Amino acid sequence: MKPLLEIKNITMKFGSLVANEDISFTVHENEIVSLIGPNGAGKTTLFNCITGFYRPFSGKVIYNGKDITRMTSYQICKLGITRTFQIVKTLNEMTVEENVMTGAFLHTNSRKKAEEIAKETLELTGLMPKKNVLGANLTIADRKRVEIARALATNPRILMLDECMAGLNQTEIKEVMDLCLKLKEKGLSLLIVEHIMEAIMPISDKVVVLNAGKKITEGNPQDVVNNDEVIKAYLGERYHAKSKKS
């Protein structure tokens, strides 16, 4: 089967700093791929290259067979790739429902249609009871949920989540894990950046590991957890020992 998203030899530089160096991997339809690595590894930079926020120095991003490398974020979103932000960008003066409607307006000019899409999305993400709460009054967990809901309201085929579990408690993390699996069941592909290994290893089909701008390996979660280079660069012996016991 042809991949839905192909990251081909992406290199991104900031002056002399190489934030992404010759990164390649694929995301297939209906697949959950996680991108992990230490702080500063280049994960968010790669998200920005894929979604048109940065123009990579070299390399290509191919989506559904089409070269999207030079497209704007708006065009890329319209084609079906949506992302959330590591630093949440809630629209504070709008309600939860209105925040989600802004996503829906990508494909419609009708307020009624946007409200319908928002309703479905609020139900899917468990936000319905909070629909009239202002963005400014939300907890961090709800802000993150609103970000996901707003992204989903654009009706993506690929949802990219940048550390959407950071700062959440165990119950909230479990809710996001369940939502990711539910979205996969609905046919979406997910590309997830996350540091909470206990949360992403069980839900990932494939894990890609970056360190200091380079891809050090990719594979299924079990292989990646046992990879010496990954343990040395990122996971440490603590996680490795724990995962061996379980």
- Pick the closer one to Mg ion by CB: 122 or 161: 161
Q: Which does 132 bind (CB under 5 to 8 A by kind): Mg ion, ligand ATP, none?
A: none
Alpha carbon of residue 69 to chain centroid: 18
Q: Does 154 bind Mg ion (CB under 5 A)?
A: no
Site string for Mg ion, 106-145 (x = CB under 5 A): ----------------------------------------
* 50 closest CA partner among 206, 148, 162: 162
Please, are residues 220 and 24 in contact by the beta-carbon 8 Å criterion? no
Q: Residue 4, Cβ neighbours under 10 Å: how many?
A: 20
Q: Does 243 bind ligand ATP (CB under 6 A)?
A: no
Q: Which does 219 bind (CB under 5 to 8 A by kind): Mg ion, ligand ATP, none?
A: none
Q: How far is CA 50 from CA 7, 27, 56, 197, 223, in A?
A: 8, 12, 9, 23, 26
The span of 34-42, 136-144, 227-235, 237-245 binding ligand ATP (CB under 6 A) equals: 34-42
Q: φ and ψ at 166, to 5 degrees?
A: -65, 135
The tokens for 22 are: 């010759």
> How far is the C-alpha of 180 from the C-alpha of 190, rounded, in Å?
8
The tokens for 21 are: 């160096």
CA quadruple 72, 74, 77, 79: dihedral, nearest 10: -70
- Binder among 32, 42, 114, 173 for ligand ATP (CB under 6 A): 42
In which element (H, E) is residue 59 found?
Answer: strand 58-63
- Pick the closer one to ligand ATP by CB: 14 or 74: 14
* 24 closest CA partner among 157, 222, 218, 156: 218
Q: How far is the CB of 44 from Mg ion (least distance, A)?
A: 3
Site string for Mg ion, 23-52 (x = CB under 5 A): --------------------xx--------
Q: Name which of residues 85 to 124 contact ligand ATP (CB under 6 A).
A: 86
- Pick the closer one to ligand ATP by CB: 17 or 140: 17
- Pick the closer one to Mg ion by CB: 43 or 206: 43
Q: How far is the CB of 88 from Mg ion (least distance, A)?
A: 13
**In the complex, which residues of this chain contact ligand ATP (CB under 6 A)?**
14, 17, 19, 37, 39-45, 86
**In the complex, which residues of this chain contact Mg ion (CB under 5 A)?**
43-44, 86
